[in-house]
Structure 1
Amino acid sequence: MRMLIALAALGLAAIPAATAQDFAIINGRVITNTGDGVIENGTVLVRGGQITGVSADLAVPEGLRTVDANGGWVTPGIFAPVSQLGLVEVGAESSARDTAASGSSFSASIDVADGFNPNSSHLAVNRMEGVTRYAVYPSTGANLIAGQGALGHTGGGYDSLFDTQSFMYAEMGQSGANSAGGSRSAAWAFLEAAFADARGYPGRYLNSPQGEALGRTDAAAMVEVVRGRMPLVVTVNRASDILRLIRFQEDNRAVRLIIRGGAEAWMVADELADSGIPVLLDPMRNLPGSFESLGSTLTAAQRLNAAGVTVAYTTDTADGYINARLLPQHAGNAVAHGVPWDAAFRAITLTPAEIYGVGDRYGALATGYAADIVIWDGDPLEVMSAPTHVFVDGEETDMESRQTRLRDRYADLEDETPFAYRR
């Protein structure tokens, strides 16, 4: 019991108080993600948690606190477009994992916000490495529709989810085929029936709680999707599945689709560009994990970028539920395989914010944007660079986590105090 209390205290200590600060960051190489490009020796002014000015010749008001970047890179915070932060503490332990409801009859009405834990130790680990915003995904359970995701920040506290019911998530391709009874045809029949149920809600359910595919509660949740008010994120990888999804959008013009996965998306890049469907892609995906991803290649990001497809990067191949912090490394590998630096950095900051409809608030250093700012000691896409300061909504966060505190606690092997009593 004593050890459990100690571990709980370590986890709670990772959550800083949410108090926005007024300050100026000076002497930085400012990456704006706007038409202003890169500002050498720039200054960023912050008041009340928002950016109020960005310029090379900006005057700092007298008495305002300054943070000297010492020539370091000043960037927007990293936005992870796919994660399960706050839903998984220990992946191999079911009681510490709240991602899927395989035994439940509900699907579309499941909301990750109801299972989100803002005290998760993984939030601080990712924040220390520059992640300030992220999307939280459910996993599929009863059928190919997993439920509703949310958007969060790593600043800590019980308001960590700043936007809930942000998107609906479903899996097609081989996973959807398995969920629907064994074939892709059955998966598409189920999805079409689910849309028909939602369009017929509530009239279709006046005499029965069950529609063709969805129960009354799930159909009510899907109404937001079929009317275009909530995007539908769909996992597909095979090129033919992506083309089928494009046809689905053509038949359902109001629906806003987002592709997750897209291992073979580069094969149909022109069609994707014409459709306007964005892709959440892991640029490190190279070796196929299944027959539907035989076309995986490290040049996929470059080919999609060249075709004009909107792409945001994920860490799906690196235990994405906790390792959103590796996004800069994945973006750096995209640069190594032909993506321009500014496009790759945008793909882990402003582009994911735009895909989820919050690009007017997050992902750039510009007047009116939230002060999610990271100061790095070098190029953030270089694997040896690291953040020196991280601000979330204008609050400077602690550069520590449960892992760093445990490291410091046991670093002094000469300490004769019993391990259980060391601080």
Structure 2
Amino acid sequence: MKAILPALALALASTAPSLAQTYAVTNGRVVTNSAQGIIADGTVLIRDGSIVAVGADVTIPDGTEVIDADGGWITPGLFAPFTQIGLIEVALEGSTTDAGANDSPYSVALDVTDGFNPAGTHIASTRMRGVTRAAIYPSTGHNIFAGQGGLVNTSGESDSVFENGSFVYADLSQSGASTAGGSRPAAWAYLEAAFNDARGYPGRFSADHEGDALNRFDAQAFLPVVRGRVPLVLNIDRAADLRRAIRFQAENTPVQIMIEGGAEAWLVADELAAAGIPILLDPLRNLPASFDEIAATLDGAQRLHAAGVTVAYTTLTSDGYYNARLITQHAGNAVANGVAWDQAFRSITLTPAQIYGVGDRYGALANGYAGDVVVWDGDPLEVMSSPTAVLIDGEMTEMDSRQTRLLNRYINITDETPFAYRR
């Protein structure tokens, strides 16, 4: 009996829930992205992974771990709305790339989250720059459809994917026209045919018959888009193509269209605002790389905001699989070209969360929101500012990456070889 009691006690202890860590982030300028605005000297209290109090006079319970911002800034975690982090390790080495599948017989049915690697080396460096959430995108293959994207956090944990099948991505730009057969009419005809295939699923696919554009597996995956439950993200830059997309949405209610790219979107800003179509825009695009981007301009973001278009900022002009961490620099350049600071900051935090339908949980510092909190040593949109602490879901994360480990390994090495042998 004496031997059984200690064993029982040990078993009960192992099954008892552990006490959740409570954090208080104090002594900083708190950017809430809520009705509270910016609190000059505030505190954010986090318990059980969620924010439970935000304000200037928050009571801190006993046993709380305090993170002193030391007069810096306290903000929500950044949300990168267009990335391929965790999908590509080295872009020119195919064995490390899971963003696209040129030789697959499937397109819409490809779910890019199946290839997401939370241990990818670029994730830690992205997190260390304050990015706690991201939308991951597939690359197009043999037709205009790239597949389905998802939403991830940058914790590096095995459960980093918190939503899959979040949207379907398709290319209706100049490159999509080429893939579809050589012209924009071919690309739009392919999209129309895909919609008809999905509407006809499963009856159209009886026996051995396939659709006009999609096989049965892709048609089944496309059905939520046709029914308006999942957004269709279109890669489009040219103003004329954007007008065609607006018309397409109106003709195919209840489909939800989102635009990625939008270099010339400011030319049709009023129409986009009226249609309620959001834009994933890189505010640094001003030099046309193709005839689709002739009207690209640095004040495009400001003009879209002024018209009432919902805009989230991307790092399209940088490599999205490792430079999503530059998102604050891109937002800062938007401010330099006429966008209000708070609007630019929302475009890399709350606005992308709202676009993807998770704005009630991410992108703000308010009661009930996830404990994604970043402490900065200065204005986050200033290029020389850096995070000093990053919390994801109320847990402190490591401020460490492959780059920092290499730095620490080699920074103090002294070359003892004769001068003639040194490189």
SS in 2 for 1:39: strand
Letter of the 1:370 counterpart: A
Aligned to 2:403: 403
What is the distance in 1 between the residues matched to 2:32 and 2:355? 18
Instruction: State the 1:209 CA deviation.
Output: 4.3
Q: Deviations over 1:144-181 (max 9, x none)?
A: 01100010001111111110111100010211101110
Contact 1:20 1:395 in 2 (8 A): no
Instruction: State the 1:62 CA deviation.
Output: 2.4
Letter of the 2:149 counterpart: G
Aligned to 2:227: 227
Letter of the 1:328 counterpart: T
Aligned to 2:29: 29
Contact 2:28 2:73 in 1 (8 A): yes
Aligned to 1:9: none
Instruction: State the 1:414 CA deviation.
Output: 2.6
Residues 112-123 of structure 1: pairs in structure 2 closer than 5 A: 112-123=112-123
SS in 1 for 2:259: strand
Aligned to 1:178: 178
Letter of the 1:128 counterpart: M
What is the distance in 2 between the residues matched to 1:368 and 1:64? 18
Instruction: State the 1:280 CA deviation.
Output: 0.1
Structure 1 residues not aligned, in runs of 5+: 1-18, 417-423
Contact 1:77 1:131 in 2 (8 A): yes
Aligned to 1:310: 310
Aligned to 1:265: 265
Contact 1:375 1:388 in 2 (8 A): yes
What is the distance in 1 between the residues matched to 2:205 and 2:121? 43
Structure 2 residues not aligned, in runs of 5+: 1-18, 417-423
Residues 144-159 of structure 1: pairs in structure 2 closer than 5 A: 144-159=144-159
Letter of the 1:300 counterpart: G
Runs (4+) off by over 3 Å:
none
Contact 1:20 1:393 in 2 (8 A): no
Instruction: State the 1:65 CA deviation.
Output: 1.5
Aligned to 2:11: none
Instruction: State the 1:239 CA deviation.
Output: 0.1
What is the distance in 1 between the residues matched to 2:309 and 2:377? 31
What is the distance in 1 between the residues matched to 2:320 and 2:198? 31
Aligned to 2:344: 344
Structure 1 residues 333-342 or 172-181, which shifts more? Answer: 172-181
Contact 2:172 2:187 in 1 (8 A): yes
Aligned to 1:80: 80
Residues 373-384 of structure 1: pairs in structure 2 closer than 5 A: 373-384=373-384
What is the distance in 2 between the residues matched to 1:61 and 1:397? 22
What is the distance in 2 between the residues matched to 1:38 and 1:88? 37
SS in 1 for 2:374: strand
Contact 1:147 1:168 in 2 (8 A): yes
What is the distance in 1 between the residues matched to 2:152 and 2:243? 31
Q: Deviations over 1:272-315 (max 9, x none)?
A: 11000000000000100100110110000000000000000000
SS in 2 for 1:164: strand
What is the distance in 2 between the residues matched to 1:23 and 1:215? 51
Letter of the 1:261 counterpart: G
Aligned to 1:110: 110
Aligned to 1:10: none
What is the distance in 2 between the residues matched to 1:95 and 1:20? 40
What is the distance in 2 between the residues matched to 1:104 and 1:216? 14
Contact 1:20 1:394 in 2 (8 A): no
What is the distance in 2 between the residues matched to 1:98 and 1:415? 41
Contact 2:128 2:387 in 1 (8 A): yes
Letter of the 2:139 counterpart: S
Structure 1 residues 356-365 or 65-74, which shifts more? Answer: 65-74
What is the distance in 1 between the residues matched to 2:154 and 2:396? 12
Structure whose CA Rg is larger:
2
Aligned to 1:125: 125
What is the distance in 2 between the residues matched to 1:75 and 1:412? 34
Letter of the 1:30 counterpart: V
Contact 1:123 1:154 in 2 (8 A): yes
What is the distance in 2 between the residues matched to 1:227 and 1:82? 24
What is the distance in 2 between the residues matched to 1:246 and 1:61? 52
TM-score when normalising by structure 2: 0.93
Q: Deviations over 1:306-357 (max 9, x none)?
A: 0000000000001112111000000000000000000000000000000000
What is the distance in 2 between the residues matched to 1:26 and 1:305? 33
Letter of the 2:202 counterpart: P
TM-score when normalising by structure 1: 0.93
Aligned to 2:100: 100
Aligned to 1:322: 322
Aligned to 1:386: 386
Aligned to 2:15: none
Go from structure 1 to structure 2 and tell me whether the alpha carbon gap of 1:20 and 1:217 turns closer, same or farther (over 3 Å shift): farther
Instruction: State the 1:415 CA deviation.
Output: 8.1
Q: Deviations over 1:207-253 (max 9, x none)?
A: 23410100000000000100111111100000000000000000011
Contact 2:21 2:64 in 1 (8 A): no
What is the distance in 2 between the residues matched to 1:367 and 1:266? 36
Instruction: State the 1:63 CA deviation.
Output: 2.6
Aligned to 1:420: none
Could you say what the CA RMSD is over the residues aligned between the two structures, in angstroms?
1.3
What is the distance in 1 between the residues matched to 2:408 and 2:209? 57
Contact 2:122 2:321 in 1 (8 A): no
Aligned to 1:16: none
Letter of the 2:197 counterpart: D
Aligned to 1:165: 165
What is the distance in 2 between the residues matched to 1:78 and 1:266? 25
Structure 1 residues 60-69 or 35-44, which shifts more? Answer: 60-69
